[in-house]
């Protein structure tokens, strides 16, 4: 089990899971639908199964590139900790569990489950033909708040869409920062990324632009839903950590990319969700 947790970097679930809770409790507190423990459990299971399948498939598909890249050569498949066959089996198992779980939620979630899997699995191919691969990753994680909202209501609405757009921009922006580490490797092996395409300086500028858009999208719900002081405080904290991560990384100094990518964004998502939930609690 430890090997599979390592394969899928289970700790990175912290990026999208808090926004799934935002989507879930946005639905519970702004619609006629009431809290349901089973739906919450199903939502969490869907998040886990979808991410497990996406991450394991990414490791399976990229195993040859990972073996050639000194930064990734110690990952589980190239290091021989998990076989490619077992990684693929793990992927397919989680795909089946994801679809099966959506069956127990509502018809819309079930019908859309293949679409969601196509996005989260398809991301792994995109770096082979487009530098916009970061946006596809963002879309994959951006399904979290909207999917959680649909779990409760079974219908679309603008507020969860705005949170999904925020996640798309946020994730795409910090994935560009993460990809700075491999710009030379990507160019040498005909892989695509914003840093490999535009260079480090312009890539960081694109990342900043995406994070500005993220802030806009998390602010707009204030005018659509009754959100108060705790939510505003959450936005300010989130903005502060976005600024902080951009101050950590320079085109000629990537020594703190890990801190900017993992720690800072993990804290940002959790604290932002906590402030959102506190705001909903006191309304």
Considering only CA atoms, which of 236, 258, 240 is closest in space to residue 249? 258
Helices marked H in 73-193 — which ranges? Answer: 84-103, 107-126, 133-153, 158-179, 183-188
175-189 average pLDDT score: 97
Q: What is the mean pLDDT of the chain?
A: 93
pLDDT higher at 261 or 254: 254
Counting beta carbons within 10 angstroms of the beta carbon of residue 85, is it exposed (0 to 12), middle (13 to 18) or buried (19 or more)?
A: exposed
156-174 average pLDDT score: 97
User: Rounded to the nearest 10 degrees, how much is the dihedral formed by the CA atoms of 221, 227, 232, 238?
Assistant: -50
- Residue 224: give the domain boundaries: 2-282
Report the distance separating Cα 28 and Cα 54, nearest Å: 28
255-263 average pLDDT score: 84
CB atoms within 10 A of CB 130: 14
Query: Does the pLDDT at position 266 exceed 90?
Result: no
pLDDT band at residue 263 using 50, 70 and 90 as cut-offs: confident
Report pLDDT for 283.
76
CB of 95 closer than 8 Å to CB of 53: yes
Query: Does the pLDDT at position 3 exceed 80?
Result: no
Report the distance separating Cα 177 and Cα 139, nearest Å: 17
pLDDT tens digits, one per residue of 202-237: 999 999 999 999 999 999 999 999 899 999 999 999
Those residues with Cβ within 8 angstroms of residue 31's Cβ, 6 or more apart along the chain or in another chain: 152, 153, 157
pLDDT band at residue 4 using 50, 70 and 90 as cut-offs: low
Report pLDDT for 258.
84
Considering only CA atoms, which of 278, 170, 160 is closest in space to residue 229? 278
Those residues with Cβ within 8 angstroms of residue 50's Cβ, 6 or more apart along the chain or in another chain: 94, 98, 116, 117, 120, 143
pTM, to two decimals: 0.95
Query: Does the pLDDT at position 104 exceed 80?
Result: yes
Q: Which two tokens stand for residue 91?
A: 């992927």
Over pLDDT 90: what percentage of the chain?
A: 87
| Termini Cα distance of the chain | 41
Report the distance separating Cα 6 and Cα 164, nearest Å: 27
How many domains, the chain? 1
In CATH, what number is assigned to the domain containing residue 270?
1.10.357.140
Report the distance separating Cα 165 and Cα 148, nearest Å: 14
Q: How many angstroms separate the Cα of 30 from the Cα of each of 143, 159, 232, 281?
A: 19, 10, 18, 12
pLDDT band at residue 261 using 50, 70 and 90 as cut-offs: confident
pLDDT tens digits, one per residue of 70-91: 999 988 889 888 999 999 999 9
pLDDT tens digits, one per residue of 28-71: 999 999 999 999 999 999 999 999 999 999 999 999 999 999 99
pLDDT band at residue 260 using 50, 70 and 90 as cut-offs: confident
């Amino acid at each position: 089990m430890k090997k599979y947790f390592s394969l899928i970097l289970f700790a990175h679930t912290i990026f999208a899971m808090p926004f799934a809770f935002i989507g879930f409790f946005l639905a519970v507190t702004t619609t006629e639908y009431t809290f349901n423990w089973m739906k919450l459990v199903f939502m969490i299971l869907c998040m886990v199964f979808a991410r497990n399948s996406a991450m394991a498939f990414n490791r399976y598909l990229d195993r040859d590139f990972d073996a050639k890249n000194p930064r990734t050569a110690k990952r589980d498949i190239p290091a021989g900790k998990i076989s490619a066959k077992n990684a693929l089996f793990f992927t397919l198992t989680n795909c089946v569990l994801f679809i099966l779980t959506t069956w127990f939620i509502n018809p819309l979630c079930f019908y859309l489950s293949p679409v969601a899997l196509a996005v989260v699995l398809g991301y792994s191919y995109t770096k082979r033909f487009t530098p916009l691969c970061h946006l596809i990753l963002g879309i994959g994680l951006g399904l979290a708040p909207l999917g959680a909202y649909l779990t409760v209501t079974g219908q679309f609405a603008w507020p969860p869409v705005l949170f999904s757009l925020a996640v798309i921009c946020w994730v795409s922006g910090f994935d560009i920062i993460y990809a700075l580490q491999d710009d030379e490797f990507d160019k040498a092996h005909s892989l695509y990324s914003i840093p490999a395409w535009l260079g480090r300086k312009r890539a960081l500028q694109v990342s900043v632009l995406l994070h500005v858009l993220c802030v806009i999208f998390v602010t707009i719900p204030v005018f659509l839903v009754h959100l108060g002081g705790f939510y505003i405080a959450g936005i300010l904290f989130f903005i502060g950590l976005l600024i902080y991560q951009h101050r950590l990384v320079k085109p000629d100094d990537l020594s703190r990319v890990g801190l900017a990518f993992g720690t800072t964004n993990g804290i940002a998502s959790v604290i932002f969700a906590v402030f959102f939930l506190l705001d909903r609690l006191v309304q």
